[in-house]
Structure 1
């Protein structure tokens, strides 16, 4: 049995178990508001396919830096999320400490929307236990620098069709230490939405069954191309 088929069967079994157990207790993936900062098991680095986001937003994206600026964004950082083995902490300090404008501006090369930077700090950064917002975003940058984007997802100028397995295989192939149980692909009704990669607190890749439970189950996905612009 191939690795791809084996993984799909495992995911279906886990999904069935989740449905059976949902009525007996808290559902897997449940958010825990106000958890203690710094108490979590691993991170999830979420890399969004920016053209899919912009296409889904339609006219609402026409004035955004991410969708209408000069730079043709492809994969961008959605966030770096502290996770429990089951569930995740969020909004661990309300209100969140205000972000210095210099911190926000310093992240716009990989998180191309000031509102996104602020929202990710409030929802996830406050749960990281980092000594400051600057320290948290340095960890975000460190996690992003660890990931190599496969060549086939660079400079896409026409619509591309792929399967979730092909996306996972491509990332595993070019990132030493990354395995199929450490990554999941997310989608909407037809488009690749994002790739989620699990990273331990030591910044090494780690297995994460919960991310796989929520993975895309479609056979084929569309990648809208990066719009024309200046790289």
Structure 2
């Protein structure tokens, strides 16, 4: 959820990041989840009919930044670059729904360990965001998986071996070149203390890229990007 600055509450292993920098410069944010790389196995998402939100915000956290201060976190063992933080229902007016029901999470959380190795985080994402999607828990996380797999990580970042720096607009350009369906207004960069924390992509309910509207990139002139550890 992109909520003004720092509004997320997480499982113990991730709480520190949420309170420090996870929640982004645009309306939503939290902390990383699990690694899931781009794949040709792109499931067709179940479209929520009549759900009370306008679009999804896909948050891909830059894992090296989180893992710098949380080296023992579950998702840090794979030394990933971008990992799924969440797929968050958003409204065009800049608001967002959250905690919409007490519906139970997936019957087999481990079946989504490829995108959420920490089941506590999976439950948090379901309760806070997934319950507002109009989908069952299984359909919501299947849709989240499809969203992650629809995005190709630019080689410049997926193969990063040493720290680099670049303006937020250049990071956006890397993503639009690697993903022809994306446009510059469908991608936003999140940063904290001038370090990259996440890339966010705005998607409609069928997971097609759309303009982000109120979601904006951070205002840093240059963003530092540490490599995986």
- What TM bracket, shorter-length normalisation? 0.7 to 0.9
Which of these residues, 152, 156, 163, is aligned with residue 152 of structure 1?
Answer: 156
Alignment of 1:127-206 (within 5 A): 127-130=132-135, 132-206=136-210
In structure 2, the residue matched to 1:82 is 89
For residues 131 and 220 of structure 2, the distance between their equivalents in structure 1, rounded to whole angstroms, comes to 34
| Structure 2 residue matching 1:153: 3-state secondary structure | helix
Alignment of 1:1-231 (within 5 A): 38-55=51-68, 58=69, 61-67=70-76, 69=77, 71-86=78-93, 87-93=95-101, 95-100=102-107, 102-103=108-109, 105-130=110-135, 132-212=136-216, 215-227=217-229
> For structure 1, which runs of at least 5 residues remain unmatched after alignment?
1-27, 31-36
| Structure 1 residue matching 2:214: 3-state secondary structure | helix
For residues 49 and 112 of structure 1, the distance between their equivalents in structure 2, rounded to whole angstroms, comes to 16
| CA deviations over 1:185-209 (Å, ceiling 9, x no partner) | 0000121000110001122111122
For residues 160 and 115 of structure 1, the distance between their equivalents in structure 2, rounded to whole angstroms, comes to 32
Q: Which has the higher Rg, Structure 1 or Structure 2?
A: 1
Offset at residue 29 of structure 1 (A): 5.1
Count residues in correspondence.
Answer: 182
**Cα-Cα RMSD:** 1.9
Work out whether residues 105 and 126 of structure 2, in 8 Å CA contact, stay in contact via their aligned partners in 1: no
Work out whether residues 47 and 75 of structure 1, in 8 Å CA contact, stay in contact via their aligned partners in 2: yes
For residues 98 and 146 of structure 1, the distance between their equivalents in structure 2, rounded to whole angstroms, comes to 24
For residues 176 and 84 of structure 1, the distance between their equivalents in structure 2, rounded to whole angstroms, comes to 25
Offset at residue 117 of structure 1 (A): 1.1
Work out whether residues 47 and 195 of structure 1, in 8 Å CA contact, stay in contact via their aligned partners in 2: yes
Work out whether residues 155 and 226 of structure 1, in 8 Å CA contact, stay in contact via their aligned partners in 2: no
| Structure 1 residue matching 2:200: 3-state secondary structure | strand
> For structure 2, which runs of at least 5 residues remain unmatched after alignment?
1-25, 29-49
Alignment TM-score, normalising by the size of structure 1: 0.74
Alignment TM-score, normalising by the size of structure 2: 0.74
Offset at residue 63 of structure 1 (A): 2.6
Higher helix share: 1
Instruction: Flag as ranges the 4+ runs of structure 1 deviating above 6 A.
Output: none
Work out whether residues 67 and 73 of structure 2, in 8 Å CA contact, stay in contact via their aligned partners in 1: no
